[in-house]
Amino acid sequence: MKGSAALAPTLVEATRAVARVASGRSLAEERTAPRGAVLDLVHGTLRAYGRVQAVVRALSLRGEPEELVQALLWCSVYALDSRRYADYTVVDQAVRACTLLERWSAKGYVNGLLRSLLRQRSSMDERLRADPQARYQHPAWWIDAVRAAYPQCWEEVLAAGNSHPPMALRVNRRRASASEYAGRLAAAGIAARHLGAEALLLDHPVPVERLPGFMEGEVSVQDAGAQRAARCLELASGQRVLDACAAPGGKSAHLLETADVALTALDIVAERCARIAQNLERLGLSASVRAADCTRLESWWDGVPFERILADVPCSSSGVVRRHPDVKWLRRQSDVAAFATRQAAIVDALWRVLAPNGKLLYVTCSVFPQENEELVESFVAHTAGAHRPPLADGEPAQWLPGPQRDGFYYAVIQKQA
């Protein structure tokens, strides 16, 4: 159990970050992203957001508190639920945080509500069981969508979205084999197991600085689900390949590690293109990286078709929400349809630059069929010359999030000659 020395300042920083999310701002917009204990508290609070909100509502006897006090209570409730600190420590440090936040008048209220929770802790779960958002810790519309799509396992999908994400590595096959690198990890005291040809799953996450050869390009951090792209594209040396929505560059790098292809990597945001270039440089790889909207062909395409296209399209991120727990509370139901419209426009544009017999790999990190199966089936049904061969790895198109990987969707669409 952790000590109390730094908890009040940590609560203050986490409170401010969570309050900004509550006002509609993404954590990705933060100039200085939360780190360390603050990040842990922020992510934990947001993963349990439905519950901590319901707890504060249930125990607040004077109406809804003002924004910062409310966010402080949410973070404090999560800290109590996490059992990482002694109960008295959380209550004491939350009251001290009121002073640091200049909310002196809220000290008694914060103290009273948290002590009330401690007295009622054993009955609280039963009280909240009838509230789906508190029980499953997702928005109601999200719960309904997942239940409709996966009636046999919807609760497991939601539970995965509340869990801590796994940390998987992709070994650069140009530098070492997965077996060789696993030996280096073991020598460094880092336990890992194999997941496929190049993927290793760590028993416990570690900072990248601890990974042997990371800065030298021997390994990258990449979810095992994301590593599926290179296998499904069936690359061969000399092919002309497009990664149409490439940032931050993990899949681009994997394609180049897999085969000697001529790769063009696009992203609509110039700053993200700089990150692609940095990642490729670390790994000793090269590609043509351009800032461009892949749907505006006149701004970037030279008229020569591509034999392989990776369309890792913008999506709801519903399959990776445990890595970005603010997303599930910032998304709206209407966003899914908006993403599907954008995704369809991207596929329509990229189809025009795909060579005869070429393959387009459509990828999302979503679990919503509207962005996945429904969109692909509609495109194939209405597009002359489009057909959908089986995936090269023999696996289903939809991978749901679980202990070993995040949720991803993959579909190959081939252009008949």
- Active site members: 365
Please count the other Cβ atoms lying within 10 Å of the Cβ belonging to residue 393: 12
Cis peptide before 248 (omega within 30 of 0): yes
How far is 386 from 359, CA to CA, in rounded Å? 10
Residue that has been written with the tokens 């096959």 in this structure: 173
Residues 6 or more apart in contact with residue 29 via CB below 8 angstroms: none
Closest C-alpha among 209, 218, 207 to residue 184: 218
Residues 390, 393, 396: CA angle, nearest 5 degrees: 60
How far is 374 from 352, CA to CA, in rounded Å? 21
Closest C-alpha among 204, 224, 199 to residue 399: 224
Q: Which two tokens stand for residue 95?
A: 């009251």
Give 140-145 contacts, CB < 8 A, sequence gap 24+: 141/332, 141/333, 142/318, 142/328, 142/331, 142/333, 145/333, 145/336, 145/368
How would you class 242 by CB atoms within 10 Å of its CB: exposed for 0-12, middle for 13-18, buried for 19 or more? buried
Q: What is the largest CA-CA distance in the chain?
A: 74
